[in-house]
Chains A and B, each alone.
Chain A
Amino acid sequence: MNATEIELSEFREDVSSWFSENKPSNPGFLLPETFMEVGTDSQFEFLRDWQRKVYEAGYLGMAWPEEYGGRGMPQVFQDIATQEMASQRLPFMPNTIGLNWAGPLILKMGAEDDKQKYIKNILSAEDIWCQGFSEPEAGSDLGNSQCRAVRDGDDYVINGSKIWTSLGTYAKYMILLARTSTGGTNKYAGLSYFLAPMNVEGVDPKPIQKLTGEYGFCQTYFDDARIPADCLMGSEGEGWNIAMVTLTFERGATGGQAGGIASMELNINDVVELSRRAMRNGKPAIEDPHIRSQLVQLMTESTGNQLMAARAKIPALATDWPDAIPMSGKLRGSELKRRMCQLAVSLQGANGARFVSEEAIDGGKWQRSYFNSFSGTIGGGTSEIQHNIVGERVLGLPKS
């Protein structure tokens, strides 16, 4: 099926009017900006209802196969729907791990039964997914995961703990990286990958208080938790490779995600808009030469960052280091966001020192955004690890 320009522009109009007619009204509380910041039941339920509504309207998983709950359409339709959600600044799809990482992974490598069982409920937000990769003693260093999975009859018995499990208390399933073998010299070869249920005895997700003072992450404890042996994905020992495939979805290096926005995007124009309202020494911050220069610099960086997506589609312009753009997406985006938030706080004069409260500018959302932006620069492999990855795999420098 090949979509014509006319079909696409008609489709864009339909999507655009559906979203503007159906967008949720103001919930009356500050919504989280990403799935990593869902801290209350009312925030969660609001977002889950919204995802279900978008899926039922047909604007999620459009390019996923029909037999599993998608619509089997060309990717371009989903891209248009996703762009509309972003441009209308709509709330995000909370089942982020399911839609963007677990779902594409199952479609790519999963067994037929898994596809039948999981995909549709990922799209409808019926089954929320979480991720069990990082551990308290192994942050960005996944290969050192110590959480154990021991085969016992028809089950695996899990012991250990995972950290930074977003939506841990709401999730029905976890993509879990656990150690099935401790022998051998290759630490990676002992790892296995599970599509693990959360609602079994011995699994205990405990909310963690973040630097913002809010909740949104868990540390998930496993205490002799028994999960069925058929939760194993692939075979024992393949966990590292499957985790790496998952991370390519996470880092945006390949397509295949269900679509839909995963966060309320903050862009530099929001900061410019803030600088018109926020006062600095009696004048709008935008009149301060120092602030003006910093805004223009970040706008230039932000434009460069956006343009990379367009340029990456032209292979003739990416010959020296073809993977530089796809491999650096998370690093570039998260660091830029952190610096934009920093500027948004620093332009507020003395009010920069306020935090979430009535007196703060915009209720303190900029300070909260700045603190939360570290989830991007730390989660999914810290920026420092990302520099190593780009340096080693793109530039060919030796391992650190």
Chain B
Amino acid sequence: MNHQIAFSDEQAMLLETAADFCRKHSPIETVRASLNADQIDAETWQQLTELGWLGINVTEEFGGLGLGLSCVVPVAESMGRYLMGSPYIGAIIASECLATSGTRGQKEEWLPKIVNGAIGSMGLTETNGSWLLNAIEAQAVVQEDVLELSGTKCFVTDADTANFCIVSVNVEAKARLVLVRREQIPDENLRREVVIDETRRSYQLDLDGITVPLDQLLKGSDFQALEFASLLLLSAEIAGGLVGSIHCIVEYLNTRKAFDKIIGSYQALKHPTVKILLDLEAMRSHLYHAATKLAEGNTDEAEVALRMAKAHGSAAFSSAGDRAVQFHGGFGFTYECDAQLYLRRALWCQYQFGDEAYHRRLLEPMLLDQAG
């Protein structure tokens, strides 16, 4: 049946468990302690692996739960809510990428490992900052049974810890995907990037001099599936982040006094906060609608829904973070104030996989130029 928004019992259960898990494992003190950390939080990773969350979208054939990406949404949303800086979303996208574009052998080798905690990461962006996934400059040249890689990938999250990265490269002038194992990457080819969201451990990956066996080339190159999965999970993280930023604002507005009044009573602060709330309500609706359409396999509707979600969310979350800082007054200007954490996360999410202007531009022909 054609639903605007379908929400299964599994999703409901995951949402409850994940919200609880992230509240316990990612209180704001823990988030702060993780800023610019060298290592991932291995204990939390181990626990969420044991909960089976890395296998939610992996089919049962490869040891997963086979519930699909729409069941990953509640987990990603909860992580966003508590600003968790986990390699989780990258790992899910990597497994999704293998599932849609990998060879049988690659799936058999990696999917069960991912379900058991192996970390995958994606290297899709380059220094030019373009969001067009197949407009890339990195190369792979086939030499007998190996691929010689060259070029540079950016924003490869957790690349140092990841067991493998999947990078996009041109092979004979066509954009393809190649799996690179961690041990094939010399340490000096990884350079930590200074990024706006300090909960992210982001790396530049220099591909020059890296050679991998030809069988690490992925069979397909389904960039659309890759983009859709990324947009969905980023939107989930954004929806969660909006909830977190509203709590951050409301808590301050309900405690801080100025001119003998609790500042939340001032309409100049109250009204824009309501606008952020309504933006969130729209965002969550777009998000679960997009998840529903993607699960139904309705590509056209899913594309519209995903781009709307990401466009709306990018603008809403960055504006919520912006106001969160402003509404904290002088305290908001300090590093100690948590509002900056939300603003930084919002800007990170906004510039991953296309900002609002980018997605609106892509929506224009879909929404405005169809016959009729």
Contacts and interface: CB of A to CB of B under 8 A. Distances in A.
B270 A400 contact: yes
Interface in A283-328: 286, 292-293, 295-297, 299-301, 303-308, 310-311, 314, 316-317, 320-321, 324-325, 328
Contacts of B37: none
A397 B269 CA distance: 10
B243 A320 contact: yes
Interface string B79-112: 0000000000000000000000000000000000
Interface string B293-309: 00000000000000010
A307 B364 contact: no
Contact of B368 (A272, A304, A314, A317): A272
A379 B311 CA distance: 32
Interface in B246-297: 246-247, 250, 253-254, 261-262, 264-267, 270-271, 273-275, 277-278, 280-286, 288-289
Interface in A369-400: 384, 387-388, 390-392, 394-400
Contacts of A390: 274, 277-278
Contact of B262 (A314, A388, A398): A398
Contact of A317 (B7, B246, B254): B7
Nearest to B3: A310
Given A305-B282, A311-B288, A398-B262, A384 B267 contact: yes
B127 interface: no
- Which size bracket describes the interface of A in this complex? 35 or more
A303 B286 contact: yes
Contacts of B3: 310
B364 A397 contact: no
A331 B282 CA distance: 13
Nearest to B267: A400
Q: Which interface residue of B7, B250, B274 has the most chain A CB atoms within 10 A?
A: B274
Contact of B7 (A303, A316, A328, A399): A316
Given A307-B286, A316-B15, A398 B264 contact: yes
A304 B282 contact: yes
Contacts of B264: 391, 397-398
A328 B368 contact: no
Question: Looking at chain A's contact residues, is the secondary structure mostly helix, strand, loop, or mixed?
Answer: helix
Given A311-B285, A316-B12, A387 B267 contact: yes
Interface string B29-66: 00000000000000000000000000000000000000
Contact of B311 (A300, A392, A399): A300
Given A304-B282, A317-B284, A324-B281, A391 B270 contact: yes
A391 B243 CA distance: 15
Contact of A296 (B7, B285, B368): B368
Interface string B1-42: 001110100011001100000000000000000000000000
A324 B361 contact: no
B250 A397 contact: yes
Contact of B270 (A299, A320, A397): A397
Contacts of B15: 316-317
Contact of A400 (B16, B266, B277, B367): B266
Contact of B277 (A293, A296, A297, A395): A395
A398 to B, nearest CB: 4
Contacts of A272: 367-368
A384 B271 contact: yes
A399 B277 CA distance: 17
A296 B367 CA distance: 7
A332 interface: yes
B360 interface: yes
Given A395-B277, A398-B265, 10 more contacts: A293-B360, A301-B282, A317-B5, A317-B7, A320-B246, A321-B277, A384-B267, A388-B270, A391-B273, A391-B274
19 contacts: A292-B368, A295-B367, A296-B360, A296-B363, A300-B311, A303-B289, A304-B282, A304-B286, A307-B4, A310-B5, A310-B285, A311-B288, A317-B288, A321-B277, A325-B281, A328-B274, A384-B271, A390-B277, A397-B270
Interface of B: 3-5, 7, 11-12, 15-16, 243, 246-247, 250, 253-254, 261-262, 264-267, 270-271, 273-275, 277-278, 280-286, 288-289, 308, 311-312, 357, 360-361, 363-364, 367-368
Interface of A: 272, 286, 292-293, 295-297, 299-301, 303-308, 310-311, 314, 316-317, 320-321, 324-325, 328, 331-332, 384, 387-388, 390-392, 394-400
10 closest A-B pairs by beta carbon, nearest first, are: A304-B282, A307-B285, A397-B264, A310-B4, A391-B270, A398-B265, A387-B271, A316-B12, A310-B5, A311-B285
